[in-house]
Amino acid sequence: MRPLQGIKVVTFEHAIAAPFCTRQLADLGARVIKIERPGTGDFARNYDERVSGLASHFVWTNRSKESVTLDVKHPEAIDVVHKLLADADVFVQNLAPGATQRLGLDYDTLKDRHPRLIVCDISGYGSDGPLRDKKAYDLLIQSESGFLSITGSEGEPAKAGCSIADIAAGMYGYSNILAALIERGKTGRGKRIDISMFESMVEWMSYPLYYAIDGQTPPRQAGASHATIFPYGPFQAGDGKTVMLGLQNEREWKKFCEIVIRQPALADDERFCANSRRTQHRDELTRIIVNAFASSSAAQVIERLEEAGIANARMNDMHDVWKHEQLEARQRWTRVGTPAGSIPALYPPGLCDADEPRMDAVPALGQHTEAVLRELGLDSNAIERLRAANAI
C-alpha cells in the first residue's frame, strides 16, 4: 500500500508550481484528477515538443494523473466539479488571483459544503497584500526575491537553469498538504493553505539575507563559485576540463595544500590562512590553483582530491546525467507511458524499499473525462449534452 493510497486530489493547475506539487502526491499513491480547459488544456502542454512531440515540462510534472476537460464557466461543469469535490480530500489550484472566488470555488465558499476538504492555493505573491494581483512567473520571482542579485557573475545576473521558484512553491504546497492531512486525522476538518512563490523563494534566500543583515554588504555574484567560501567552485585542469571542488574548514585547507596542489607551505601563508582571507584574496589563490592543475588532467586532479578527502564533482551536462553511473547502479530509472509512447523516468527520491513507486502514464488531454463522469453517475445522454454544450 502506498502512503497516500485512498487520497483523492482535484486540481485546477497549469504551468509548473501546482502540477509539481500534485505530482508528488500522485507519486505517493494519491489519485489526482487534473481539470483542464477543453481544446487547449494546461498551457504547459505546448511549451516545447522535445519529448517525441510532447513538452518536457509537462511530462515531468504530470505523470500518474487523470485528465478531465471541463469549461468551468459553464454551470453544468461547475456542478461536475462539486460532485468531484464531494469525496475529495484535497483541492489544489494556481489560477489567476480571484478566479476561484468568481467561480464560487474558494475556501470560504467551499468549507461549509465540504468541511473535510483541504484547499491549497498557490500564487505568485499570496492572497492579499499590494502585489496580490501582480503577474508572477518563475524568472520574475527569482528577480523579485533577490535571487538574481547574488547569482551569475559580477554585473551579469543569471537565472537558475530550472524553474526554482515554481519548485520551491510546489514543494511547500506538498509538505503543507501532508501536514494538513495529518491534522485532519486529529480534528476531522479541512483547512486552507496559502502558498506564495515569492515567500517560498525568500525563505530559500535566508542565508544571503542574514549575511547582509543591518545593511552589511550582500554576497557578491561569484558565478559557479561560492560567494563566501573559498576555494569552492570550478577550476580548470590541464586538459581543459573543469573540476568542481569545495573546502569547508582549515583541516581540509591544509590537506589541499599538501596533497592536491602540492604546496604545503601555502597552508600557513598569511593571505590564505583563514576562509575570510582566502575569500578576500580569491583572485591570487585562483591563479595559484589553476597553475598547479595545469600539468594534470581533470581525472588526475579528482584522484588527488579523493586522496585528500576533499569534496569534488565533475561538471556534467544533461547527456552525462542521462548515463550517470550512480543512477544506474541504484536502478533509479524506469519507463512511463505517454500519448507519444514510452519514455524514461526517474523514480521519485525518498521512497522506502517497502513502497512500490507509482509511475503511471502522462495523460492525453481529456483522456479520462468520460470515465470520471460515468463514475460520478452521468449517463451517455448527460455526457453528450455536456459535449454538445462545449462544457467538456
Packing angle between helix 164-187 and helix 17-27, nearest 10 degrees?
50
Q: Is residue 216 part of a domain?
A: no
Instruction: Supply angle C-alpha 261, 267, 271, rounded to 5.
Output: 110
pLDDT of residue 225: 86
The DSSP annotation for 93-135 comes to: E--STTHHHHHT-SHHHHTTTSTT-EEEEEESS-SSSTTTTS-
pLDDT of residue 222: 82
Same-domain pairing of 236 and 372: no
- Alpha-carbon span 177 to 9, nearest angstrom: 11
* CATH assignment of the domain containing 173: 3.40.50.10540
Same-domain pairing of 288 and 335: no
For 277-318, what is each residue's pLDDT tens digit?
A: 999 999 999 999 999 999 999 999 999 999 999 999 988 889
Same-domain pairing of 267 and 344: no
Same-domain pairing of 281 and 345: no
Same-domain pairing of 162 and 245: no
Radius of gyration from C-alpha coordinates of the chain: 25
For 219-251, what is each residue's pLDDT tens digit?
A: 888 888 888 899 999 999 999 999 999 999 999
pLDDT of residue 15: 95
pLDDT of residue 220: 86
Same-domain pairing of 170 and 53: yes
Q: What is the number of domains present in the chain?
A: 2
Spans of the chain below 50 pLDDT: none
pLDDT of residue 289: 97
- Alpha-carbon span 366 to 374, nearest angstrom: 14
- pTM reported for the whole predicted model: 0.91
Domain that holds residue 143: 8-204+328-388
